[in-house]
């Protein structure tokens, strides 16, 4: 049969609709405010799915068994994930299966490269189901004719997207604020071992001339990793220095593994401090503190520590007419209630406070491994708190 290169977008639209229905069946999102924003980005990516699709329909002389069902044709379908949001569909034609698998020219056009001999042999066998270069493209053998059975094809395609393409899909539809772009972060200067030893950000290091910096070259790579994690300008200077302490501890855990435990502790201390500072920054100034029996005071520069002290002293106080409750749970609930953070971010903050308490009031010895992810999460949560300030 002759090749057909028509850009039949209706094929993509039917597949997109089927993908959206299957995703919504598998993933229930009753409250978007209480869901990881990456999940919401993935849902958006599936509901708006588009990428260049190239396919060939291959027919059999008699039905074959394919994943629990019989079919008399399959669709070899290639998805180009490097060009998301591009709606292109190319049909290379419909052929007898035996003829198609011998057409190296078609296979080369379908794969966008010359097929390797081992891949050719696999395709010519009856066991080939697909191939991929994760995150870039994938080829699936879909049951039936894609043009006529988008629902069945969506089951296989969604599995492939969920397993190998999530990162690319989430990045394309990411809902999280890009702090680097919003605040025009510049690329940090790469510190030498001598710079790392001297310290930075108001934190004094060891006397660099007391040791040979060449023996500390291993610090440079870790310092570059942490220097890439930046807090936004709205974060108070004292809090930013606490974050910097955690980052330096991570760097020096290269030589003292127990510094990693202290690094984790300082991360959670910084998050708790950020919660208190962010709540105070949202108060109307001067903040009116009232207690029973007519006692009251106005604070031009209210701090959580001072308000908590007054609450202990007077038993119960209100802040600008709202009852103040001691404890971090109430503080997080207030930030969620006032839409400073989402419910999902609130749950992350709750976990961080729990870990801060575990580190501060240890009932048993614990050694935590160094984790750049903990520093990344800490920086992100603090930036999320103050981004809306």
Residue 57: is its pLDDT beyond 80?
yes
Share of residues in the chain with pLDDT > 70 (%): 93
What's the pTM value of the predicted model, to 2 decimals? Answer: 0.84
pLDDT reading at 64 higher than 90 = no
The pair of structure tokens assigned to 76 is: 């070899």
Q: From CA 97, how far away is CA 118, in angstroms rounded?
A: 19
Q: Which residues contact 138 (CB under 8 A, 6 or more apart)?
A: 78, 79, 81, 130, 131, 132, 160, 164, 165
Query: In angstroms, what CA-CA distances link 12 with 131, 171, 183, 303, 389?
Result: 20, 21, 38, 56, 43
The reported pLDDT for the residue numbered 205 is 57
* Residue 19: strand, helix, or coil: helix
116 secondary structure, DSSP code: P
Domain ranges of the chain: 9-172, 193-283+320-387
Cβ atoms < 10 Å from Cβ of 176 = 14
CA proximity to 274, closest of 338, 335, 362: 335
- Weakest mean pLDDT among 12-16, 140-144, 376-380: 140-144
Contact residues for 114 (Cβ-Cβ < 8 A; gap 6+): 104, 108
pLDDT tens by residue, 258-295: 899 999 999 999 999 999 999 999 999 999 999 988 89
Among left, alpha and beta (phi > 0; psi -120 to 50; other), residue 71 is beta
222 three-class SS: helix
Summarize pLDDT for 79-99 with one digit per residue, the tens. 999 999 999 999 999 999 989
User: Quick one: tokens of 13?
Assistant: 């639209």
Whether residue 2 has pLDDT greater than 50: no
In this prediction, residue 1 has a pLDDT band, given cuts at 50, 70 and 90, of: very low
Closest CA to 173 of 30, 381, 376, 23: 23
Name the strand (E) or helix (H) holding 238.
helix 237-252
Residue 236 has pLDDT above 90, yes or no: yes
Considering Cα of 108, then 114, then 120, then 123, what sign does the dihedral take?
negative
The pLDDT value given to residue 171: 95
Strands 89-96 and 130-133 come out as unpaired
């Amino acid at each position: 049969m002759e090749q057909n290169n028509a850009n039949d977008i209706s094929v993509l639209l039917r597949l997109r609709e089927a993908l959206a229905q299957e995703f919504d069946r598998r993933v229930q999102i009753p409250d978007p405010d209480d869901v990881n924003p990456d999940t919401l980005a993935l849902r958006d990516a599936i509901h708006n799915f588009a990428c260049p699709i190239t396919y060939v329909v291959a027919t059999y002389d008699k039905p074959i068994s394919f994943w629990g069902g019989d079919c008399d044709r399959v669709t070899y379908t290639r998805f180009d994930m490097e060009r998301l949001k591009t709606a292109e569909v190319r049909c290379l034609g419909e052929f007898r299966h035996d003829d198609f698998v011998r057409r190296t020219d078609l296979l080369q056009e379908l794969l966008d490269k010359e097929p390797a001999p081992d891949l050719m042999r696999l395709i010519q066998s009856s066991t080939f189901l697909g191939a991929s270069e994760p995150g870039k493209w994938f080829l699936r053998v879909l049951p039936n004719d894609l043009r006529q059975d988008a629902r069945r094809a969506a089951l296989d395609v969604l599995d492939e997207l969920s397993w190998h393409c999530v990162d690319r899909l989430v990045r394309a539809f990411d809902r999280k604020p890009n702090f680097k772009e919003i605040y025009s972060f510049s690329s940090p200067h790469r510190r030498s071992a001598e710079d790392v030893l001297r310290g930075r950000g108001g934190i004094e290091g060891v006397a660099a001339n007391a040791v040979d910096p060449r023996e500390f070259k291993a610090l440079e790579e870790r310092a570059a990793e942490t220097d890439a994690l930046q807090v936004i300008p709205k974060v108070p200077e004292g809090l930013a220095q606490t974050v910097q302490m955690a980052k330096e501890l991570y760097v020096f855990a290269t030589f003292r593994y127990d510094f990693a435990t202290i690094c984790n502790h300082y991360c959670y201390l910084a998050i708790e401090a950020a919660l208190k500072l962010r709540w105070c920054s949202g108060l109307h100034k001067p903040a009116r503190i009232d207690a029973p029996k007519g006692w009251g005071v106005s604070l031009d520069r209210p701090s959580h520590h001072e308000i908590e002290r007054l609450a202990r002293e007077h038993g119960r106080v209100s802040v600008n007419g709202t009852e103040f409750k001691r404890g971090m749970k109430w503080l997080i609930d207030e930030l969620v209630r006032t839409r400073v953070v989402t419910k999902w971010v609130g749950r992350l903050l709750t976990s961080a406070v729990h870990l801060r308490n575990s580190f501060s009031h240890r009932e048993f010895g614990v050694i935590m491994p160094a984790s750049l992810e903990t520093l990344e999460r800490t920086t992100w949560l603090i930036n999320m708190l103050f981004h809306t300030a």
